[in-house]
Amino acid sequence: MHTLNLEVLTPNGSIFNGPVQSVTVPGEEGEFGVLSQHVALTTLLKAGVIDIIQENGQKESIVVNWGVVQIANNVVTVLVDGAVAIRGDSEGEMAKALDEAKALIDSVADSSALIASVSARIESAAHSHLF
Amino acid sequence: MANLKEIQRQIKSVSNTQKTTRAMKMVSTAKLRRAEELAKRSRLFAQKTNQVIAEIASRIQCNKVGGIDSRCFVQNDAPKSIDIIFVTADKGLCGGFNMQTIKAVKRLIAEYKNKDVNIRVRGIGKKGVEYFTFNQVELLDGVKNLSSAPDMQRSSEFMARSIKDFNDGIVDAVYLVYNGYKNVITQELHVNRILPISIENIDCESVKDSVLELEAFDEEKMLDSLVHKYAEYNMYYALIDSVAAEHSARMQAMDAATNNAKEMVKSLTVKFNKARQESITTELIEIISGVESMK
């Protein structure tokens, strides 16, 4: 399996760092997926969800409010302003992460359609993570 | 005897001061640990952001892609108007920490005054703002209570004005002066030019073959928003770094003060013992001479 390295950095530290199978990011011009051997690219991200399929096939979602992604030499570097990873070992932790993620999206997105779609996606991400 | 009492009073006062400075040192040590942690976590982001920006800048410079002539990347050797932003602490008692920054700012002001450049000074931190106000150096604005508790939103708001004026052509360069954290015992003074983005030491060879792929409708817009974030983030990082440096400087200053107080107590105790011995000797002489005279 070909993998690429993903690094998600916020001003308050790294939120994800490791090899992944694929990653889907919310580009300014639309969502796009990145697999290994992707061409070099630098672009902006808008508020949305980063979907990650990890090396072992496990899925993970990170909600971001703004960012820039740089893809080069099989390394994907995502620099974001604010990010919340939808993960947690218990239902309580998960609920907390969900609330934080929603607050983050509410604070930046100006269209209610975007808020709704992102909210729906993080809910489903949380469900698939838990069950 | 009056002298003895006086020395005793002094010893007590110095050892009380010593207690205070020791406590302050411990407080600073605890705060430093937290600030250092924050700075460490942010450093990676800062490095990556600078790296991305530098790469874009160098590609623009070396390959002249897409005719991007964003003001942020154009080098201007003869600026007409500049912004100097400095960061000092809100509190004193941290040795030469604030003074170092202030001196650097004064040097920068003098340097550009010679070149007839219009200078706007913007300050963060009570100590620096008060210093310049007292010395009748005009400040465009001064923010207090931000450097002791760095806040992304407030620092972004503060920086936004400089970025806007830069984009509107009111200022030609933005400098950021702050005292950063190097390690527990050293601080490092930074004088950084935030805008336009510095493209010194660029190796054209390394980027010659790679193509800058900007997947955006409006490249200018993308670069602008990227540069905006870059400047804002640099500001925030300066604040974080400065807090860590402030605590380390205070820790050192208080440690030195504690040691000095200890020395002082020691020498005062010697003085006290000598004075006491002297008074005993005098008393003895008086008694003996009294006895002698009665013979």
Please report residues of A whose CB lies closer than 8 A to that of B226: 44, 68
Topology of the domain covering B2-21+254-294: Helix Hairpins (1.10.287)
Handedness of CA B35, B37, B41, B47 (dihedral sign): positive
- Supply the pLDDT for residue A109: 63
- Supply the pLDDT for residue B282: 94
How many alpha carbons fall within 13 Å on the CB side of residue B44?
A: 18
Q: Are B265 and B18 in contact (CB under 8 A)?
A: yes
Q: How far apart are CA B192 and CA B230, in angstroms?
A: 13
Residue A28 touches partner B, C-beta closer than 8 Å: yes
- Supply the pLDDT for residue B30: 94
Q: Work out whether strand A75-80 and strand A4-10 pair parallel, antiparallel, or are unpaired.
A: parallel
- Supply the pLDDT for residue B295: 83
Q: Which residue has the higher pLDDT, B45 or B256?
A: B256
Mutate to test the interface with A, among B55, B213, B232 (most CBs of A within 10 A): B213
Cross-chain Cβ contact A42/B52 below 8 Å: yes
For chain B, give the mean pLDDT. 86
What's the pLDDT tens digit per position in A37-94? 888 888 888 888 899 998 888 888 888 888 888 888 889 999 988 888 887 667 777 7
For the cut 80, the answer to whether the pLDDT of residue A116 exceeds it is no
How many alpha carbons fall within 13 Å on the CB side of residue B248?
A: 22
Mean pLDDT throughout B122-130? 92
- Supply the pLDDT for residue A121: 78
Mean pLDDT throughout A108-121? 73
Q: Quick one: DSSP state of residue A82?
A: S
Residue B217 touches partner A, C-beta closer than 8 Å: yes
Cross-chain Cβ contact B52/A29 below 8 Å: no
For the cut 60, the answer to whether the pLDDT of residue B215 exceeds it is no
Cross-chain Cβ contact A9/B48 below 8 Å: yes
What's the pLDDT tens digit per position in B166-203? 888 888 899 999 999 988 888 999 998 888 887 665 55
Helix (H, G, I), strand (E, B) or coil at A80: strand
Q: How far apart are CA B14 and CA B22, in angstroms?
A: 12
Taking one residue from A and the other from B, the number of pairs with CB-CB distance under 8 angstroms is 64
For the cut 70, the answer to whether the pLDDT of residue B208 exceeds it is no
Q: Work out whether strand A67-72 and strand A75-80 pair parallel, antiparallel, or are unpaired.
A: antiparallel
DSSP assignment string, B124-180:
ESHHHHHHHHHTT--EEEEE-SSSSS--HHHHHHHHHHHHHHHHTTS-SEEEEEEEE
What's the pLDDT tens digit per position in B23-49? 999 999 999 999 988 888 888 888 888
φ/ψ of B188, rounded to 5, equals -125, 125
Worst-scoring range by mean pLDDT, A93-97, B153-157, B186-190? Answer: A93-97
CATH for A1-131 (3.30.1280.10, 2.60.15.10, 2.60.40.10, 2.40.50.140): 2.60.15.10
Residue spans per domain, chain B: 2-21+254-294, 35-251
Residue spans per domain, chain A: 1-131
Q: How far apart are CA B187 and CA B177, in angstroms?
A: 13
- Supply the pLDDT for residue B267: 95
What's the pLDDT tens digit per position in A15-26? 889 999 999 999
Worst-scoring range by mean pLDDT, B2-16, B18-32, B216-230, B232-246? Answer: B216-230
For the cut 90, the answer to whether the pLDDT of residue B54 exceeds it is no
Report the percent of chain A where pLDDT is more than 70: 92
What number is the ipTM of this complex?
A: 0.77
- Smallest CA-to-CA distance from B41 within A43, A70, A10 is with A10
Mean pLDDT throughout A27-37? 87
Residue A44 touches partner B, C-beta closer than 8 Å: yes
The residue behind tokens 């920086």 is B159
What's the pLDDT tens digit per position in B63-101? 655 555 667 777 777 888 999 999 999 988 888 899 999
- Supply the pLDDT for residue B227: 85
Topology of the domain covering B35-251: Pyruvate Kinase; Chain: A, domain 1 (3.40.1380)
Residue A73 touches partner B, C-beta closer than 8 Å: no
Q: How far apart are CA B87 and CA A83, in angstroms?
A: 28
Mean pLDDT throughout B110-119? 90
Cross-chain Cβ contact B214/A9 below 8 Å: no
